[in-house]
Structure 1
């Protein structure tokens, strides 16, 4: 199963899809599973399909050996003339985000590496945070400093921080991707919790009941973020390159 590890050096591509109806979410999941089950691209490491919980949508967490392998995949006729049209038809919003894992922490009771798998019962929260490129490193450091007190929050399991490199969408329908924003203008935060109830309690905790460390951290974080987008997910499918190709 896939793991999130800052030391593996993979290019992590986070493909975010939003839509407006529950049946379309199911279709997105079906199409993603089909792609994952037959993936045999040079340099492809793993794919993990996430189904949105609070909002309609899906997310595919994909690990690649490097940028050259990813770009070769994007340049194939199948991607340009089949994959792009299919997802353009279903989704109302698409972002294909290249990232690299900068920081990772798990609760001390959970071992050294963060696993993402449909065999686990994690309640997953993924935030896409906009930031000025010159302040990206500061935002990553600020989010990372929360690891000092997150371990004491009931229900917390892990948090990984990914540096945004480049973001694109599906373009105008000619099979070519279009760049969105500037390089290094976002950060992705991937968190695991033991339940929706634990996460909701954490997120809705009144400011006067928060620790001083949390209040200071969140004030700094808010001062750096230009835009915030988040959803909660369940992992519904995963496959790694060492597993047999499914047909």
Structure 2
């Protein structure tokens, strides 16, 4: 299974696809599996496909050696004339996000973050738009500022990614990729009334409200993964 570390060694790409029906989501997943299973691109390291739960859509968490390798893939005839047109037919929105992992945190006793279909994680991906001058402040609020998450029932881990450049998106962004024991645990955390939240959480909420200019989110189950050489 892919392991996620904030070591600055590789490029992390998060491709988010939105659609409007279960049938189109199934078509997206099938197309993504086909591409992942055939992947042999220079510099490609791994891809992990996610199936949308709260809203129709998919996510692909991809590790690349470098931006240059990814741009070579984007410049290829297959990507421009087959992959993008195919996804364009069955999606309502496409976001291709290049990021760097800048923070990881796990439940106490867990040494590293792994993602893969053999795990039973209930995964949330939260996307925050931000103005460039306050991007680092938002990263800190969502990363080191959330050590208190380790005490939340059902929490497993979270990763913070700083947005670098992307397609289908304007401005800068920050992504939080979090893993939970179950849908019930995540929903209980998400829906906790503001007045019942801890002082630390309320502080984080206030910081995020001050820095984020828009938000989008979905929840997922990991359904497929493959790494180079497999």
TM-score (norm 1): 0.91
Contact 1:2 1:115 in 2 (8 A): yes
1:127 aligned onto 2:126: yes
Distance in 2 separating the partners of 1:212 and 1:125: 23
2:175 aligned residue (183, 188, 195): 188
Counterparts of 1:195-210 in structure 2 under 5 Å?
195-210=182-197
Distance in 2 separating the partners of 1:146 and 1:36: 35
Q: Which residue of 2 aligns with 1:168?
A: 167
Q: How many matched pairs?
A: 230
Q: Which residue of 2 aligns with 1:215?
A: 202
1:207 deviation in Å?
Answer: 1.5
1:196 deviation in Å?
Answer: 0.4
Unaligned runs of 5+ in 1: 170-179
Q: Which residue of 2 aligns with 1:136?
A: 135
Distance in 1 separating the partners of 2:15 and 2:144: 27
Contact 1:132 1:226 in 2 (8 A): yes
Distance in 1 separating the partners of 2:13 and 2:94: 13
1:242 deviation in Å?
Answer: 2.6
CA RMSD of aligned residues (A): 0.9
Distance in 1 separating the partners of 2:68 and 2:191: 42
Detail structure 1 runs of 4+ shifted over 2 Å in the superposition.
none
Distance in 2 separating the partners of 1:91 and 1:66: 27
Q: Which residue of 2 aligns with 1:175?
A: none
Unaligned runs of 5+ in 2: none
Counterparts of 1:149-168 in structure 2 under 5 Å?
149-168=148-167
Contact 1:144 1:161 in 2 (8 A): yes
3-state DSSP class of the match of 1:187? strand
TM-score (norm 2): 0.98
1:44 deviation in Å?
Answer: 0.2
Contact 1:19 1:90 in 2 (8 A): yes
1:7 deviation in Å?
Answer: 1.4
After superposition, give the CA deviation of every residue in 1:209-233 in whole Å (9 maximum; x if it has no partner).
1111111111111110000000000
Contact 2:8 2:100 in 1 (8 A): no
After superposition, give the CA deviation of every residue in 1:143-199 in whole Å (9 maximum; x if it has no partner).
113432100000000010000001203xxxxxxxxxx323xx100000000000000
Distance in 2 separating the partners of 1:92 and 1:211: 38
1:82 aligned onto 2:96: no
Q: Which residue of 1 aligns with 2:58?
A: 58
Distance in 1 separating the partners of 2:141 and 2:38: 39
Contact 1:105 1:147 in 2 (8 A): no
Would the alpha carbon gap of residues 165 and 8 (structure 1) be closer, same or farther in structure 2, given more than 3 Å must change? closer
Distance in 2 separating the partners of 1:142 and 1:8: 20
